[in-house]
Amino acid sequence: MPERIADNMPVFSDGELQPAETLEEKMSLSDRFGLRLGFEHYSADIYLEIIGNYAKIRKIKVNSDELRRSALEWSLFQGSFSGRAARQFIDDLEGRLKKGRTRQTI
């Protein structure tokens, strides 16, 4: 459901008599029917295995120590060792390598 700033303001808009009640109803709907996605968090070793597998599948030729270092830096920036963070790292790395740009030494 769309959420507007006005939904959080205690003002009478559009003839609404009970704006707080309307907000509560919207929150209730969101709680019951909202889509929630969970992303599994792995250990650093499993995260690095995922990175290595993606690099192998996509035929990304990078020094394994540099790949490991950069992947760990990426995970710190993302705040997790998840499969999603691994995929985003590989997507970013592959794009930078194809454009001839590198962030540091990769």
Q: Residue 101 — pLDDT band, cuts 50, 70, 90? A: low
Collapsing DSSP states into helix, strand and coil, what is residue 8? helix
**45-59 pLDDT tens trace:** 999 999 999 999 999
pLDDT attached to residue 74 = 94
The 3 state secondary structure assigned to 47-67 is HHHHHHHHHHHCCCCCCHHHH
- Whether 89 has a pLDDT exceeding 90, the answer reads yes
Q: Residue 9 — pLDDT band, cuts 50, 70, 90? A: low
Q: Please, what is the average pLDDT of the chain?
A: 82
